[in-house]
Structure 1
Amino acid sequence: MTAENAASPEYWDDIRAVAHCLHVHSGPIVVLAHENPDGDALGSVLGLSRALRRLGKTVIAPMTVPRYLSFLPEPGELSAPLTEWPAGALAAVLDVDNNDPVRVAGADLRTFGGPVVNVDHHGTNQRRADAGVVDPSKPAATMMIADVIDALDIPWDEHLATPLMLGLSTDTGNFAFDSVSAEAFECAARLRHHGARLGWLNEQIRQNPPSYYLLLREVLGKLEFQHGGRVVQTRVDNEMLARAGANWDDVESYVSMLRNAEGAQLAVMAKDYGDRVKFSLRSRGPVSAQNVALALGGGGHVPAAGATFQGSYAEAREQLDRAIAAELSRVDALGGSAQG
């Protein structure tokens, strides 16, 4: 079964509507993703930006890339955050809901009055763009960007395929998560056929500076197992970073490592900035990281989500503990406390 046969007619109508808006727009196109971009956000932005530039479009892609992904963008592809919108612009918002302007990074959508297209795979998306495609069954937004590029009828090569493979690989945990579908493997095969450099991506993304390991020692010193080992969590603050000579980019992959603890159904990494706390959450089995994040004002997917709390760590921890207890109680009431 091909991807086009597997998806609904409505999905392909939405894909073509997004492609049409991008194709006919004569002004600049500002391509945006969410704050703290991951591989899917960066891959989506680079893939679409490169495709649109081949059509002769003026593309502005404001994004601050974390260190561990800095190997992929070429000089000049990305820009600093916008202080004002260019005249006649269209906003292409990827891997995040355009109706959540706090999470959209690179430009302030609250001051934008132009057309917006949205490509996202989060189930909490409100689906209110001028043209949009939202499909939570897709484990990575780059899968939908690949379909948009096909709809734009742009010839493929590794320059387009590689960033999309980055998003697909990272958002599926290197194709290890339950979210991986037959369609995801089919998309990976398409991208590989078009020259995606999968081995090179894996080699680049797995390299860590010495500070990563020095900070890991600090992180493990704060490690806690709670609720009979069902929850594992830790935190990082500025003092820990200073002792390790590290920066916040070095923290990103720790939460996935915590999720591998035997018996753990929820892993939590707290980044304590002093005046606010950012939580990264990963879950397995019946426990929903999304539910915990939503209780903290955030969002995401069932197995991977995040939230930002404005206030001290002590205040944030109190709310986090309540949200975790509520989620575990929900699971237990459904008879799903055993690991799935």
Structure 2
Amino acid sequence: MTAINDRDFSYPQAVQTVAGLLRAHPGPTVVLSHENPDGDALGSVLGLTRALRALGREVIAVMDVPRYLRFLVREGEVVPTLAQWPQGALAAVLDVDNNDPARVAGADLGTFSGPVVNIDHHGTNRRQAAALLVDPSLPATTMMVADVVDALGAPWSEAIATPLMLGLNTDTGSFRYDSVTPRTFEAAARLLSHGARLGWINDNLGQHSRSYYLLLREVLSTMEFLHGGRVVLARVDDAMLERAGSTWEDVETYVNILRGAEGSVLAVMVKDFGDRIKLSLRSRGGVSAQNVAVALGGGGHVPAAGATLTQPYAQARERLDAAITAELERVGLGG
């Protein structure tokens, strides 16, 4: 694989290189994304998969789609796991750094020896692939996939535009985050012109099961306001899920509720699995969730990041508190 230096990066050229490899590859394409997929992961996978299939290509889309996003997936369109790599396959890894096989879900990328295309917008991406399109300045990977669809010459349709809009909508917080630029709205307008169903997406995303609310009640009871209210933290464990009749999928959007606490600059949602914890982090006001996550062995974006610590919560909490304190001190909010 080839490492790409930022100084050598040309976005239009990278789009053409990625599209060229996808178009020229004679074998099947396996489209993958990250564990615990969000709207940008699913939207990227579906958008590229549908575009390639419209061109008559053989595509295997791999994702265990969470319940709250299944409204967008057609029956039989994706498979949850890949039993083995097909002969002569190309791997298209979307919305995740392909150099971290542990983050790629549904297939063992560490055993794959074929060409890899990586389309991603994470600042922690190490920029190594046969063909690479990485731009951390863009708020959603689906923006890049849309440009690749154009470069492929695939016929646009509502079926392609809608999942790409899903990713753009969710990763910008419905166009509320500071990552939104004029270019973001231009991309959204282009997708709308191709038939993207934005209202339908938001209506479906706004519907939750009864168990979602029962679990939310449990989670809100654990809320802590730390560092003078600048940090808000909540925790969820298996016992809470059992009482609510819920699943881990219901937890995915809770961190955004915590982020709404007035005066907070960092929201932390802790998934407590007993022997390990997973953190979802959201930040604002110059505070970097990414810095906190990286200090704990994770990664992500400045306003949204995550990490996994292989320790019980009681032990991991000290490390978490230290990372949060260091980041607040960096921006002059310590003490």
TM over 0.5: yes
Determine the C-alpha separation between the residues in 2 that align with 1:55 and 1:219.
46
2:185 is equivalent to residue 189 of structure 1: no
Q: Which residue number in structure 1 is paired with residue 100 of structure 2?
A: 100
Q: Which residue number in structure 2 is paired with residue 236 of structure 1?
A: 236
Determine the C-alpha separation between the residues in 1 that align with 2:155 and 2:64.
28
Q: Which residue number in structure 2 is paired with residue 20 of structure 1?
A: 20
Residue type matched to 1:199 in 2?
A: G
Query: Contact conserved, 2:54 with 2:155, CA < 8 A, in 1?
Result: no
Residue type matched to 1:11 in 2?
A: Y
Determine the C-alpha separation between the residues in 2 that align with 1:275 and 1:109.
26
Query: Contact conserved, 2:42 with 2:167, CA < 8 A, in 1?
Result: yes
Q: Deviations over 1:65-118 (max 9, x none)?
A: 111111111011100211321111100000011001111111111101000000
Secondary structure, aligned partner of 1:105 = coil
Q: Which residue number in structure 2 is paired with residue 306 of structure 1?
A: 306
Q: Shift of residue 9 of structure 1?
A: 8.3
> How many residues align structurally?
327
Secondary structure, aligned partner of 2:11 = helix
Q: How does 1:99-178 map to 2 (within 5 A)?
A: 99-178=99-178
Q: How does 1:318-329 map to 2 (within 5 A)?
A: 318-329=318-329
Q: Shift of residue 32 of structure 1?
A: 0.5
Q: Deviations over 1:113-158 (max 9, x none)?
A: 0000000001111110000110011100000000000000111110
Residue type matched to 2:72 in 1?
A: L
Q: Where does structure 1 lack aligned partners over 5 or more consecutive residues?
A: 1-7
Query: Contact conserved, 2:95 with 2:121, CA < 8 A, in 1?
Result: yes
Determine the C-alpha separation between the residues in 1 that align with 2:9 and 2:158.
29
Residue type matched to 1:75 in 2?
A: E
Determine the C-alpha separation between the residues in 2 that align with 1:21 and 1:317.
45
Determine the C-alpha separation between the residues in 1 that align with 2:135 and 2:256.
24
Q: Which residue number in structure 2 is paired with residue 4 of structure 1?
A: none
Determine the C-alpha separation between the residues in 2 that align with 1:315 and 1:152.
50
Secondary structure, aligned partner of 1:269 = strand
Residue type matched to 1:136 in 2?
A: P
Secondary structure, aligned partner of 1:133 = strand
Q: Which residue number in structure 1 is paired with residue 221 of structure 2?
A: 221
Q: Where does structure 2 lack aligned partners over 5 or more consecutive residues?
A: 1-7
Secondary structure, aligned partner of 1:212 = helix
Query: Contact conserved, 2:65 with 2:80, CA < 8 A, in 1?
Result: no
Q: Deviations over 1:294-339 (max 9, x none)?
A: 011110000000011112111221211111011111111xxx67xx
Determine the C-alpha separation between the residues in 2 that align with 1:59 and 1:262.
46
Determine the C-alpha separation between the residues in 1 that align with 2:16 and 2:295.
35
Q: Shift of residue 275 of structure 1?
A: 2.1
Secondary structure, aligned partner of 2:305 = strand
Q: How does 1:57-68 map to 2 (within 5 A)?
A: 57-68=57-68
Determine the C-alpha separation between the residues in 2 that align with 1:80 and 1:175.
30
Give the RMSD, CA atoms, in angstroms.
1.1
Residue type matched to 1:317 in 2?
A: R
Residue type matched to 1:13 in 2?
A: Q
Secondary structure, aligned partner of 2:281 = strand
Residue type matched to 1:67 in 2?
A: R
2:260 is equivalent to residue 260 of structure 1: yes
Q: Deviations over 1:185-214 (max 9, x none)?
A: 000000001000000000001100111111
Determine the C-alpha separation between the residues in 1 that align with 2:55 and 2:120.
23
> 4+ residue stretches of structure 1 with deviation over 6 A?
none
Determine the C-alpha separation between the residues in 2 that align with 1:50 and 1:226.
46
